[in-house]
Amino acid sequence: MTTQSITKETMFDLMYEIDATIPIEISECSIRINKFSRANSEEGVQANLDMIDEVMECARVRGEALKRRRDMKHKSKVISTQLKVVDSVLQKAHFN
């Protein structure tokens, strides 16, 4: 920070009446970082790629099952009526 020439104080000092400090965190790396191994990571990625076809197939099957359940629920609430040519149907009159 640039100090003011007259007061020899920074803008932060003048505004908040304290010195600006940068906190430094000193800690150990997490277990996940310490145990990381590139070889194990690459093996895991390869295993995931090998299983992608099975995962996609399972997702497709679940999606189809969901669609069927949705359709069955919809059909259970719909009352279907078969109309014949001789049946009278009331239509809205359109007035201009």
Q: Which residues partner with 17 through β-bridges? A: none
Give domain status of residue 68, yes or no: yes
> Mind spelling out the 3-state secondary structure of 27-88?
CCCCHHHHCCCHHHHHHHHHHHHHCHHHHHHHHHHHHHHHHHHHHHHHHHHCCCCCCCCCCC
Tell me what pLDDT residue 53 has.
Answer: 93
State the pLDDT confidence band at 4, using cuts at 50, 70 and 90. low
Please report, in angstroms and rounded to a whole number, the separation of the first and last CA atoms in the chain: 76
Q: What's the sign of the alpha-carbon dihedral 53, 54, 59, 62?
A: positive
Tell me what pLDDT residue 26 has.
Answer: 67
pLDDT tens for residues 34-83?
Answer: 888 888 889 889 998 999 999 999 999 999 999 999 999 998 988 877 77
Query: What is the domain range of residue 66?
Result: 49-76
Q: Has residue 8 got a pLDDT over 80?
A: no
Give domain status of residue 66, yes or no: yes
Q: How many domains does the chain have?
A: 1
Q: Has residue 92 got a pLDDT over 70?
A: no
